[in-house]
Amino acid sequence: MEKKRERQGILWKWSITIWRRIFKWKKKGKAKEYYENGQLRFEGEYSNGKKNGKAKEFNENGDLIFDGECKEGKRWSGKYNIYNEDGQLIKVYTIINNDEVFSKNYNDNGELILEAEYSLKKDIGIRKEYFDGKLIFEGEYKKKIRNGKGKEFDYYSGEILFEGEYKDGKRNGKGKEYKNRKLIF
């Protein structure tokens, strides 16, 4: 019986696919999509079968996770939120023209752990890293690794510890090391 249902489901999907191809049916206009639990999943516009225009996306708990614009089925510009299993906000992205991204990441206690501005196309940017709400690094990076100019800060005092160049996540070349606000190297 279960195999028969499975075959019927496949046949139904196959029939719908053939029907759509014959009549070139594609979603267009305003649409709402729902999860199986009845929660709203998507509210927005379609064109040529793809998400185009203003869009809102929600998770299964009903939290707004994206509010912006889609282009050719992809999130193009707007604000994107990610929540953990407990409903705690852990990431906020603002995307502009599918390239420029401004992001903030939070730990499960709601404390800021990362702020970044970067280019998706070039995979380079500037970031600030935090621990327990205190700035510990600020600088350039490439492919999510410290690369370029940067500064390290003391966790306890907030004073600068190092200022210089980084390559592949490590200090590289000339730089300035500080202790008690005094240049030591």
Q: Could you tell me which residue, 20 or 131, shows the higher pLDDT?
A: 131
Note if the pTM is more than 0.85: no
Whether 158 maps to a domain, the answer reads: yes
- Cα angle 48, 50, 54; round to 5: 110
Distance of alpha carbon 68 from alpha carbon 17, whole angstroms: 30
Whether 175 maps to a domain, the answer reads: yes
Whether 168 maps to a domain, the answer reads: yes
Whether 142 maps to a domain, the answer reads: yes
- The pLDDT of residue 148: 95
Amino acid at 111: E
- The pLDDT of residue 145: 93
Whether 52 maps to a domain, the answer reads: no
Range of the domain at 167: 99-185
- The pLDDT of residue 124: 92
Nearest alpha carbon to residue 113 among 132, 89, 94, 87: 132
Span 50-96, pLDDT tens digits: 898 899 999 888 888 888 888 888 877 888 888 887 878 899 989 88
Nearest alpha carbon to residue 41 among 22, 62, 26: 62
Query: Number of structural domains, the chain?
Result: 1
Span 113-130, pLDDT tens digits: 999 999 988 889 999 999
Distance of alpha carbon 70 from alpha carbon 51, whole angstroms: 6
Instruction: Provide CB contacts within 8 A for 15, sequence distance 6+.
Output: none
Whether 83 maps to a domain, the answer reads: no
% of the chain residues with pLDDT over 90: 45
3-state SS class at 63: coil
For residue 72, count other CB atoms closer than 10 A to its CB. Answer: 11
Whether 11 maps to a domain, the answer reads: no
User: Can you tell me the mean pLDDT for 155-176?
Assistant: 92
Distance of alpha carbon 71 from alpha carbon 156, whole angstroms: 46
CA dihedral 152, 158, 160, 163 (to 10 degrees): 20
Instruction: Provide CB contacts within 8 A for 36, sequence distance 6+.
Output: none
Whether 109 maps to a domain, the answer reads: yes
User: Can you tell me the mean pLDDT for 30-57?
Assistant: 91
Q: Are 42 and 56 in contact (CB under 8 A)?
A: yes
